[in-house]
Chains A and B, each alone.
Chain A
Amino acid sequence: MPARPAARRTTRPARPAPELSFGDLWTFDPAPETADPKLRQRYDLFIDGKFSAPVSGTYFPSINPANEKPLAEIALAANTDVDLAFAAATRAFPSWSRLHGSERGKYLYRIARLLQDRAREFAVAETLDGGKPIKESRDFDVPMAAAHFFYHAGWADKLEYAFPGARAWKPHGVVGQVIPWNFPLLMLAWKLAPALATGNTVVLKPAETTSITALKLAEILLEADLPPGVVNFVTGAGEVGAAVVNHPAAAKIAFTGSTEVGKKIMRASAGSGKKLTLELGGKAANIVFEDAPIDQAVEGVVNGIFFNQGHVCCAGSRLLVQEGVAEVVLAKLKNRIRVLRVGDPIDKNTDIGAINSREQLDKIRRLVNIGVKDGAELYQPPCKLPEKGFYFRPTILSGVQQSHRVAREEIFGPVLSILTFRTVEEAIEKANNTAYGLSAGVWTDKGSRILKMSTELKAGVVWANTYNRFDPASPFGGYKESGFGREGGRHGLADYVQLH
């Protein structure tokens, strides 16, 4: 067999993968989701099974971050309102906790079903209020929220199997819960479902920019005929959250939000005897090895950081890519984000919607500027952004060093910082070199390496050859300064009971 001319092979230029990119050759027709979100003009507090006006009579506007137009007025709770909510939850606790588990479960099944019935309406409301693309709220947030209620419903009468060998377990009592604005309805489901399944009653505060779907869920709680006081919603900003977590009637606090606020809550509750679970920030490493299926990895990296505009605590915001493939991965990433559609979140074709608030947009801009000043190389695709509303282009910062602030601080936006590594050990060291420990991603073709990485990474969730997967049966939560406690699965239940 004649030898092939080796020279020809080596001189062949390394051609990037063929790409189909039509840029702005034509504009797409808008494809807005038109289902009616059935919003009220004004939302009151939900206390003791009733919507009631706040004692102060004060309301604040909730705007659509996609166009800055007001959507509805939300009641501003004062301390008196929070007291009323805790009083209602305290009254409801004895009978709710004594109710047979199978009956508690049936209420949760009802809530899950009613939410499925009104899924499209909730998806539109979620997108209008929070700015996330309708395809995400429609295909992820709302169905996953319903799934959480459905999953936990089944646990309510089987709890003795959840805590094997425990001499006794009982619910805490009234649980104070404070949730963030990135997954308003889903975080609410993560908090409510296990708390109710285990027999606790709840006072919950949604984030001030995204209260609408919580109050719409209150309508579902009424439709489900949930006993009054079992769930109470108080709305407002940080002061209301502080009133909830510091309330003497709260036996347990469950908080999802920033590490900074989590620390404040820990300090404030020190010595109070309250139980705590905290799901805080992250700065996850998404690690791509040379043997990874590169196209699949690039898709996963894009999903890891641009899902929900990067407003995700477990977002893969640090890409660690092995040197041999760093160039090709960067080139493919740039190609890929050039075709991401940034714009009106209600449009069914939108990939990246609106940043949740002006405040968050300012924070993202500030940190990206710092990244560039520190020496990172910036890439943003030349896409058009709507004139009104809060938008930020998908952004790649390459040449980032461990010491850069964009490699250490949570940006909570569509910004990917890229670092490189040579060896497995270096990847582990860099990935773990952070105060956070919520999640990590590993891309490799080698099964043994996946398990090695999963063992060494100090993170509560490790995704192998995938990213940002969630399931009610899969425990979620962090190591180190990403908080403690788990949500979902059998493990999440344990944080809502006192075990003996």
Chain B
Amino acid sequence: MARLIITKTPKVYVGGAFIRSESGRTFPLKDSQGAFVGHVPQCTRKDLRTAVEAAARAGAGWARRTAFNRGQILYRLAEMMEARTGELADAIMLGGTAAATAKAEVSTAVDRLIYYAGWADKYEQVLGNVNPVSGPYFNFTVTEPMGVIGLIAPDDAPLLALVSLLAPTIVSGNAAVALASETQPYPAILLGEMLATSDLPGGVVNLITGYRKELLPTFATHQHLRGIGGTTNAEERKLLQSGAAESIKRVKLTSAEDRFDWTTDTAQSLYAIRDWLEFKTTWHPIGS
């Protein structure tokens, strides 16, 4: 007699814990054939606010970690993912992606993490500056993380795009609250499990699932989010940008209409790290 398998209850990873929505609401996830997979948390505005609070608490400590340590932890996350490639590929295939493509997406996501892990202790050397001012001052510009960044993941490449958004955000010491693909949330659910075992402090990355329509207005106006990134359509972009005006939030969005290609090297760049950095210039006197 065939053994009945134990199915996994999908939970989102917020503040270092696996939770369901405070509202108790879920939405059913089905695979591309229409077969039932599980009930995914339909996170609410309150869940989002909780996630932002968790990120704000974790962010300061994460930013104080050494650059070397942050790089090691991103590398560790890649190790966790590599080991579970099959499981992640299966999660991507739920959306109808072919096996080879799904596996390639996982491999690229792992490589992307390695790419950004390597930047951790180098971007400052490229983006910072000593400035030759006319006067007896040692004038230097350093980068600093912005704080908590909200990320909106697209539906295409649900794992790779999410990783491509998260890695350049957190490598510099920012914390993130990411909204997973609405139609393909399952890879994000699994990614949470890998984050939890990667030595990344709880709360640095918070992944929520749910409906964009419900959550984007809060992403737009939440005062503690210092930036908003990701992929959106024109209408969502307008909503996020006008909401961002209330607290002069930094907005860096790509358009869903452009069908950004996440799979090639052009999707990774030092300038994706720069998007979530502030520049601070210090004038230090020279003299006795």
Binding site for B on A (CB under 8 A): 147, 163-167, 259, 262-264, 266-267, 269-271, 278, 280, 435, 447, 450-451, 454, 459-466, 469, 471, 473-477, 479-484, 486, 489-491, 494, 499-500
Contacts and interface: CB of A to CB of B under 8 A. Distances in A.
Nearest to B285: A465
Contact of B137 (A447, A454, A466): A466
Given A263-B246, A477-B279, A480-B248, A271 B135 contact: no
Contacts of B68: none
B126 interface: yes
B141 A489 contact: yes
Nearest to B220: A270
10 contacts: A262-B248, A266-B245, A270-B241, A460-B279, A461-B280, A465-B285, A466-B285, A473-B133, A480-B226, A494-B274
Given A473-B132, A499-B271, A271 B241 contact: yes
B247 A481 contact: yes
A102 to B, nearest CB: 21
Highest count of chain A CB atoms <10 Å: which of B126, B244, B248: B248
Contacts of B270: 164-165
B131 A164 contact: no
A450 B270 CA distance: 30
Given A165-B270, A474-B281, A500-B266, 20 more contacts: A166-B271, A167-B269, A263-B248, A269-B241, A271-B241, A278-B248, A450-B284, A460-B279, A462-B281, A462-B282, A469-B135, A473-B133, A475-B279, A479-B278, A479-B280, A481-B247, A484-B248, A486-B279, A491-B129, A499-B271
A168 B2 CA distance: 58
B33 interface: no
A477 to B, nearest CB: 7
B133 A471 contact: yes
Contacts of A454: 280, 282, 284
Contacts of B135: 469, 471
Nearest to A477: B279
Contacts of B246: 263
Nearest to B280: A460
The 9 closest A-B pairs by CB, nearest first: A271-B238, A266-B245, A270-B241, A270-B242, A471-B133, A473-B131, A267-B245, A454-B282, A481-B248
Nearest to A435: B247
Highest count of chain B CB atoms <10 Å: which of A278, A435, A477, A484: A484
Contacts of A476: 281
Nearest to A450: B284
B283 interface: yes
B241 A266 contact: yes
Nearest to B64: A455
A475 B141 contact: yes
A167 B266 contact: yes
Contacts of A270: 237-242, 244-245
A83 B131 CA distance: 39
A281 B111 CA distance: 42
B248 A266 contact: yes
B283 A462 contact: yes
Contacts of B250: 484
B143 to A, nearest CB: 10
Interface of B: 126, 129, 131-135, 137, 139, 141, 226, 234-235, 237-242, 244-248, 250, 266, 269-271, 274, 278-285
Highest count of chain B CB atoms <10 Å: which of A460, A474, A479, A481: A474
A305 to B, nearest CB: 17
A309 to B, nearest CB: 23
B54 to A, nearest CB: 21
Contacts of B280: 454, 459-462, 479
A428 to B, nearest CB: 12
Contact of B133 (A167, A266, A474, A484): A474
A163 B269 CA distance: 12
A303 B246 CA distance: 32
Nearest to A263: B245
A460 B248 contact: no
Given A280-B248, A471-B139, A489-B129, A271 B242 contact: yes
Nearest to A167: B266
Contact of A491 (B134, B141, B245): B141
A269 B247 CA distance: 15
A469 B141 contact: no
Nearest to B245: A266
Contacts of B235: 271
A483 B129 contact: no
Contacts of A280: 248
B222 to A, nearest CB: 14
Highest count of chain A CB atoms <10 Å: which of B129, B135, B247, B279: B279
A463 B283 contact: yes
Contacts of B139: 471, 473-474
A266 B242 contact: yes
Contacts of A459: 280
A357 to B, nearest CB: 26
B140 to A, nearest CB: 9
A494 B139 CA distance: 19
B285 A475 contact: no
A259 B281 contact: no
Nearest to B287: A465
B237 to A, nearest CB: 6
A489 B248 contact: no
A250 to B, nearest CB: 15
Nearest to A459: B280
A474 B140 CA distance: 8
A484 B126 CA distance: 20
Contacts of B271: 163, 166, 499-500
Contacts of B266: 167, 500
B248 A469 contact: no
A271 B237 contact: yes
B137 A491 contact: no
A494 B141 CA distance: 14
A471 B238 contact: no
Nearest to B275: A499
Contacts of B226: 480
Contacts of A271: 234-235, 237-238, 241-242
Highest count of chain B CB atoms <10 Å: which of A266, A450, A454, A486: A266
A435 B269 CA distance: 31
A252 B266 CA distance: 24
A48 to B, nearest CB: 32
Contacts of A461: 280-283
Contact of A266 (B126, B244, B285): B244
Given A461-B281, A489-B131, A165 B126 contact: yes
A270 B278 CA distance: 22
Given A280-B248, A499-B271, A464 B279 contact: no
B103 to A, nearest CB: 27
Contact of B282 (A165, A166, A464, A499): A464
Given A466-B285, A473-B132, A479-B278, A164 B126 contact: yes
